[in-house]
Amino acid sequence: MMSGATGQNAGQCPLCGAGAAVGLLLPGARLAASDASRDLAIAVCPACGFVFQAGADTPDYDAFIRHAYEAWDGATLFDFPRRSEDNAAAADIIARHSRADARVLEIGSNRGDILALVKERLPGASILGVDPATHGNLPVPTLRAFFSPQLFSSRFDTVILKQVLEHFADPRPMLAGAREVLEDGGLLYLDVPNLERILEGRTDAFLLEHAAYYSLGVLRAALPGFEIVEAREAGSLRIAARKLPGAAAAAFVPPADGPRLAEAARTGLERLARAREAGKAALAAHAASGGRVVFFGAYNCFRALYREFLPLLGDCPRAVLDDAMRGEREPVFGLPRIETPGPGDLLLLCSNNAEVLERMWARATELGGGAGGVAVLRPWSKFLRADGTTDGTTSDLGA
């Protein structure tokens, strides 16, 4: 199915049923958690503007991706709870819209970092997570299971779906389940990667692990039965919505500007594909000259990029730099960890969040990027050469 090029038929849109077309094809894409690979075809629905992974609604994909979750190893890198700006922003919104004594459920709670941060802000709240991951001792009460409304005999005041919906080709069964376990008037918090920001920054955020990509317009349309009380657009789309009383959700109604959203997505995906090739060529040229490649950020984005770029790197020296990481070496590939890059290094920014990448770019400049003799590559929008000049007359990768 995925041997063709962009523009090829990508099957039916999971939301509205219209015929969709491939907008981006990444052959042999990698998972963060293992060396397994698979072609990744990103489809665009011309009618409603939904962007999704073609074939992600098949049993074949389910079997493949289950492997990624089984190999998940998120517990070792960070202190608990992880106080990233993203986590803090989510916990702030949740606390602001929740009752002081809320019964809070997080679906896909992983270690429970968000729940712990919510509990700090709402000491009177009770917290519960549900997640199939098989970590050791979890610091918050957690049901080890895939979420199903039948697991619960009572309802919750607040339900959290943080970085969950993007893993489903069709978000509606999960949203209906979350609605079922919520009290009328209860709060649903959800966040997903922000498609418009991803395309704007030509960010490397199209992943085998992600089945769906949302603009605010499409996400709003996918939430009948809820009233949105707060929507924030940053690297993530963050939504706080109240459950409206009454019957279950109505049918999906495509947003009025669906065709415009679709055209913006198609154009953005084409630019990303061109810039990605230009960036990979710059990386390969640096490695071929024997220069050191320093991966800035040593978490999931790094892992997937490293697996993909291994053949490009040849024998060049390599290291990681990550302010939040401890230890002499990063744990998956054993690359040495360094505190600062040196002249002649190429610093590759490893994040798929546009906000995080902006902070990393600023930090890379402090660490010697450009004039300090360190080249900086931001996938896939900017390349700053080691002599301080950019690629051509601008820092644009040429898309």
The site for Zn ion, by CB under 5 A, has a size of 8
Per DSSP, the three-state class of 376 is: strand
Q: Does 15 bind Zn ion (CB under 5 A)?
A: yes
Q: How far is the CB of 16 from Zn ion (least distance, A)?
A: 3
Q: Enter the DSSP assignment of 336.
A: B
Please select the residue that binds Zn ion; options are 10, 16, 207, 298, rule is CB under 5 A. Answer: 16
Of 127 and 165, nearer to Zn ion (C-beta) is 165
For the bound state, the minimum distance from the C-beta of residue 346 to Zn ion, rounded and expressed in Å, comes to 40
Q: How far is CA 376 from CA 189, 239, 324, 325, 383, in A?
A: 36, 33, 20, 21, 6
Return the SS3 of 289.
Answer: coil
Give the range of 6-14, 184-192, 222-230, 296-304 binding Zn ion by CB under 5 A: 6-14
- Residues paired with 293 in a beta bridge: 318, 346
- CA dist 351 and 338 (Å) reads 18
13 binds Zn ion (CB under 5 A): yes
Is 46 within 8 Å of 21 (Cβ atoms)? yes
CB closer to Zn ion, 42 vs 397: 42
Q: State which residue, 45 or 332, has the beta carbon closest to Zn ion.
A: 45
Grouping H, G, I as helix, E, B as strand and the rest as coil, residue 356 is helix
Q: Looking at beta carbons only, is 10 or 357 nearer to Zn ion? A: 10
In the complex with Zn ion, the residue whose CB is nearer, 58 or 148, is 58
Site string for Zn ion, 65-104 (x = CB under 5 A): ----------------------------------------
Q: Rounded to the nearest whole angstrom, what is the least distance from the CB of residue 15 to Zn ion in the complex?
A: 5
CA distance 126 to 388: 53
Q: Please report how close the Cβ of residue 258 comes to Zn ion at its closest, in angstroms.
A: 7
Q: Considering the rule CB under 5 A, would residue 360 count as an interface residue with Zn ion?
A: no
CB of 218 to Zn ion, least distance (A): 8
Which of 13, 374 has the CB closer to Zn ion? 13
Instruction: Give the nearer residue to Zn ion in terms of CB position, either 22 or 102.
Output: 22
What mask, x for binding Zn ion by CB under 5 A, covers residues 17 to 56?
-x--------------------------x-xx-x------
Copy the structure tokens of residue 386: 């080691």
To Zn ion, the closest distance from the beta carbon of 303 in angstroms equals 32
The Cα 143–Cα 391 span in angstroms is: 51
Sheet containing strand 51-53, edge to edge, reads 9-12, 19-30, 37-44, 51-53, 212-213
Q: What is the dihedral of CA 176, 110, 191, 264, to 10 degrees?
A: -100
**DSSP 8-state class, residue 379:** T
Q: Is 262 in the site for Zn ion (CB under 5 A)?
A: no
Q: What DSSP character marks residue 249?
A: P
CB of 12 to Zn ion, least distance (A): 8
Of residues 20 and 118, the one with the C-beta less far from Zn ion: 20
Q: How far is CA 339 from CA 233, 297, 322, 331, 373, in A?
A: 32, 12, 8, 16, 16
Residue 241 in tokens: 């919505």
Minimum separation from the CB atom of position 343 to Zn ion (A): 50
The β-bridge partners of 319 are 294
Binding region for Zn ion (CB under 5 A)? 13, 15-16, 18, 45, 47-48, 50
